[in-house]
Structure 1
Amino acid sequence: MKTIKTPILPIRNTLAKVEGNHELDLEAICLFIAFGFFFDTDTYWKDEVALSPGKKYQLDAQNNVISSEKWFEWHYSPRDISFETTLGEFTNLFETIVKEQTSDKKVILPLSGGLDSRTQAVALRNHPNLTSYSYDFEGGYPETKIAKNIADACHFPFTSFTVKRGYLWDCIEDLAEINQCFSEFTHPRQMAFFDSFKTMGDIFSLGHMGDLMFDSFGLPQLSFEKEVDVLVKMLVKKGGLELASSLWTTWGLDGTFEKYMVSRITESLKAFKIENTNAKLRAFKTHYSVARWSSNNLSVFDAIHPVTLPYYDTRMFEFMCSVPEKYLANRQLQIAYIKQHAPDLARITWQGNRPFNLNTYHLNKSPYNLPYKITNKLKRAFNELIGNPYISRNWELQFVGKENDKHLKTWLFDSKLKDLVPKETIKEFYDNFKERDAVTYSHPVSMLLTLALFQEKFNI
């Protein structure tokens, strides 16, 4: 017998066995299609589970779950504390965790135009052995310019990468082995330059979860039923409900998919004994969405070097649960931390509010942002005219264009996918993507591609 204590937010899935037949869990796969990640402890199989975060498990020698109990309970216990005191506590805690995780290591720091990596750059700017990098989409916004400005201000060595169109097809089978087909393949852009990381350092320092932890949904206090409605809208991807419902009917499952989905969300939300709507939804999303989607995508980094994540530390979760919601809203703590400790970084463009920075982002509204919006729109229109469409979405790099389409069709129509999904359904959603609405149907196509790889590599 062995004991496993799962973190509040795991870096990777830990799988175990439960009673049941070794057959596909079609209900779980339908939820996977709708959400883009497996929900709760679901996997592809009825006799296999992913261990839930924040629990202690007893497993036997054959890896079967014998018992489990919670060691962490999500809560919202705001203290009567000033913003200045909260900021001081955040500063001390964040810098302590970053130092513990990175001391005596050669650190690789991904930089972006946002706040999470910039916050880490402040904590790491005096680290003696660190290199940084960023990437642009081919034909997309030049995010590396902002990242390089941050790196230069911190005197970090910096490497710029370009995520090329169609990179996925050279590495898709490797990626399937890495993430075990527990999430789709369009988001882990790191695969485009996987080998380059091997000689860059010893560990990654990643800022995942900062944007969820230190922001608010900005919702009023809602009834439980309205909270469920919000979660349905939050979790279901465009086109995901349509494909999941189609397969639910095709596979002859009881009732309707939508009723099943709402019941699963409803029962899961009941477990969170938190009154405040925003705090409850943050806890729910962390426990389910981040643990099974964001964390699963960390497997790409983890396949190269160990990963460290300051926001995944238990102390950070306990701190967050004690901070008044009004201080978490609108990224206040991260912005104040950067402005106080690295005002030069605060003056660099904030990509989400470009062309404004952390001192001027409140001006990102009409009429102040009109000149930038008009200029940017004209540039995009001109590039469209000369045959260089603007790329802003992951799937555009992998699915758009003649060469991409050839690879996509091979996986969808010439693989074992047809043993699980009828050819008519595959063709319907592929045609909808090509001829009807690429934005809406990119997700269903991506999930069909994921199932195709699963069928080829794991459903033998």
Structure 2
Amino acid sequence: MKNITTPIIPVQAQFAYTNQHQSLDYRAICLFAATGFFWDTDTYWCNKKVLCPATSNEVDEQQKLVSSYSYFDWHYSPKKNYSFQEALNDFTELFEQIIDEQIGDEQAILPISGGLDSRTQAVALKQLGKKVTSYSYSFSGGYSESGIAQKIAKACEFEFQEFLIPKGYLWNVIEDLAEINQCASEFTHPRQMAVLPEFQQMKGTFSLGHWGDVLFDKGAPEGYTEKDLIALVKKKVIKKGGLELGKSLWRDWQLEGDFENYLEERIEALLSQINIKNHVGAKMRAFKSLYWAPRWTSTNLSVFAHAHPITLPYYDHRMCKFICSLPEEYLADRKLQIAYIQKRNPEVAKIIWEDQRPFNLNNYQYNKMPYNFPFKVGRKLQAGINKIQQKKFIQRNWELQFLGKENEQQLESYLFDEKFNDFISREIVEKFYKKFQREDAVYYSHPVSMLLTLSVWNKKFN
């Protein structure tokens, strides 16, 4: 017998097997197609399951699961008579302790965006006096996210490197990416794959900011009740065009029942396992951390890990437990992270917050009419100029990988592969590809990306 203990938020999936025959789990694949990640313990196969987060598991010599029990349950137990200042002090001490332990004497490799998670890490690394190499990337022909990142790096006196994600990079690395993430996520999201050789030339340990935006914000909009949770989960997890693709595959594979009913039943069953009765936001945060973080966010961390060791301060078990003790009002609207940055590094707080452009952490409350009117007018004018000049503004990775003649040839070689069309009918592939080309590329980019992922998986692993 072997014991396998999984973290509260696993970085890497660990598997066990059942007594079922090895056969495709078509229902799981339909959910995967609709949302972009596998749910709960699902994989492509009926007999292969992922071990649940925060569990202690016994497996036998054949890697079959013998027993499993949970050692941590997400909960909402806010401390009484606990001031915001006390929470800020506790967060400051815990966050810096975690980062200090994770990085140690290593050089930290820090990806910086225009948001708050990596900015909070930058401030902590600066405060702790760590050696830091930082970087950011932007899309070729897109908004310069690196502009904000470079200012943060300069304020913290970090080395900084800007990467430009080139057009069509995916086709040179798609086979390698399939090996790295085992086709458990669609291929257009891990843009870090474009600069993996550059990562490998760096020295140090990654400090990654994943999941901070979920833990340190409100879990659900105001006014939501338990009855609204299924609809809220559907709204959050189903990608554009995903429900339509899931339904099409379900019908084509002649599965029993209705796909959308099955989806709602799965959501209801998973929500019922979360023993939080007194707070909708906390329950939603727990749902995401149990089922979304390990199966979506963690999947492509393997790309970073392919270059260097990775650390994730927001994944730390102490941070998860700390979150359960905080009043929701302290988490909502990123209050704790903002207050931490303002306290530890006022210069970084003055730098533009990408989500609240052109405002920063000190004045983002003014991102409303009439204060943001000049910025909105300027943005519309620039959009008009771009249209006149026929300049396309790249905002999404799939635009660099799917659009243009060369990209189309590469994409079609996978979508219309004969072996793949035995697995998923050519009729379905043609339907969604034509809708992507002729109707709404933004809406149907997810179905096309999922079909590409399933084609590569079918080629390599089926």
Taking structure 1 as the reference length, the TM-score comes to: 0.98
- Specify the alignment match of 1:428 in structure 2: 431
AA aligned opposite 1:236: I
- Specify the alignment match of 1:155 in structure 2: 157
Match of 1:313 among 300, 303, 316: 316
TM-aligned CA deviation for residue 415 of structure 1? 5.2
TM-aligned CA deviation for residue 229 of structure 1? 1.3
- Specify the alignment match of 1:76 in structure 2: 76
AA aligned opposite 1:441: Y
AA aligned opposite 1:62: Q
AA aligned opposite 1:442: S
AA aligned opposite 1:26: Y
Aligned length: 459
TM-aligned CA deviation for residue 218 of structure 1? 4.5
Any conservation in 2 of the 1:415–1:452 contact (CA below 8 Å)? no
SS in 2 for 1:366: coil
Any conservation in 1 of the 2:220–2:284 contact (CA below 8 Å)? no
- Specify the alignment match of 1:112 in structure 2: 113
Q: Between the two proteins, what is the percent identity of the paired residues?
A: 52
- Specify the alignment match of 1:179 in structure 2: 181
Any conservation in 2 of the 1:105–1:203 contact (CA below 8 Å)? yes
SS in 2 for 1:29: helix
- Specify the alignment match of 2:448 in structure 1: 445
- Specify the alignment match of 2:244 in structure 1: 242
- Specify the alignment match of 2:170 in structure 1: 168
TM-aligned CA deviation for residue 265 of structure 1? 0.6
TM-aligned CA deviation for residue 387 of structure 1? 3.3
- Specify the alignment match of 1:289 in structure 2: 292
Any conservation in 2 of the 1:415–1:456 contact (CA below 8 Å)? no
Partners of 1:300 and 1:251 lie apart in 2 by 33
AA aligned opposite 2:376: K
- Specify the alignment match of 2:266 in structure 1: 264
- Specify the alignment match of 2:328 in structure 1: 325
Any conservation in 1 of the 2:16–2:50 contact (CA below 8 Å)? yes
SS in 2 for 1:397: helix
TM-aligned CA deviation for residue 169 of structure 1? 0.9
Give structure 1 stretches of 5+ with no counterpart.
none
Partners of 1:128 and 1:349 lie apart in 2 by 24
Partners of 2:117 and 2:252 lie apart in 1 by 43
Any conservation in 2 of the 1:218–1:329 contact (CA below 8 Å)? no
AA aligned opposite 1:186: T
Partners of 1:174 and 1:30 lie apart in 2 by 24
Partners of 1:412 and 1:46 lie apart in 2 by 25
Partners of 1:450 and 1:89 lie apart in 2 by 43
- Specify the alignment match of 1:44 in structure 2: 44
- Specify the alignment match of 1:364 in structure 2: 367
Deviation string, structure 1 residues 126-162 (Cα, Å, up to 9, x no partner): 5342200001111111111111111111110100000
Any conservation in 1 of the 2:183–2:457 contact (CA below 8 Å)? yes
AA aligned opposite 2:172: D
* 99-108 vs 373-382, which moves further: 373-382
Partners of 2:252 and 2:185 lie apart in 1 by 23
Any conservation in 2 of the 1:219–1:277 contact (CA below 8 Å)? no
Partners of 2:414 and 2:376 lie apart in 1 by 39
AA aligned opposite 1:392: Q
- Specify the alignment match of 2:94 in structure 1: 93
Partners of 2:223 and 2:79 lie apart in 1 by 19
Partners of 2:166 and 2:385 lie apart in 1 by 21
AA aligned opposite 1:61: E
Match of 2:404 among 401, 405, 413: 401
AA aligned opposite 2:325: S
Q: Does 1:132 align with 2:134?
A: yes
Partners of 2:351 and 2:285 lie apart in 1 by 29
Partners of 2:390 and 2:307 lie apart in 1 by 37
TM-aligned CA deviation for residue 414 of structure 1? 2.4
Deviation string, structure 1 residues 253-272 (Cα, Å, up to 9, x no partner): 00110111100110110011
AA aligned opposite 1:137: F
Partners of 1:366 and 1:409 lie apart in 2 by 46
Partners of 2:222 and 2:134 lie apart in 1 by 40
TM-aligned CA deviation for residue 194 of structure 1? 0.5
- Specify the alignment match of 1:345 in structure 2: 348
- Specify the alignment match of 1:389 in structure 2: 392
- Specify the alignment match of 1:102 in structure 2: 103
AA aligned opposite 1:84: Q
Any conservation in 1 of the 2:219–2:283 contact (CA below 8 Å)? no
Deviation string, structure 1 residues 362-383 (Cα, Å, up to 9, x no partner): 1111111121122122223322
Any conservation in 1 of the 2:107–2:131 contact (CA below 8 Å)? yes
TM-aligned CA deviation for residue 38 of structure 1? 0.1
SS in 2 for 1:296: coil
Partners of 1:390 and 1:375 lie apart in 2 by 15
AA aligned opposite 1:262: E
Any conservation in 1 of the 2:121–2:209 contact (CA below 8 Å)? yes
Any conservation in 2 of the 1:384–1:390 contact (CA below 8 Å)? no
Partners of 1:401 and 1:270 lie apart in 2 by 46
Partners of 1:239 and 1:448 lie apart in 2 by 12
AA aligned opposite 2:77: S
Any conservation in 2 of the 1:380–1:389 contact (CA below 8 Å)? no
> Over aligned residue pairs, what C-alpha RMSD do you find?
1.1
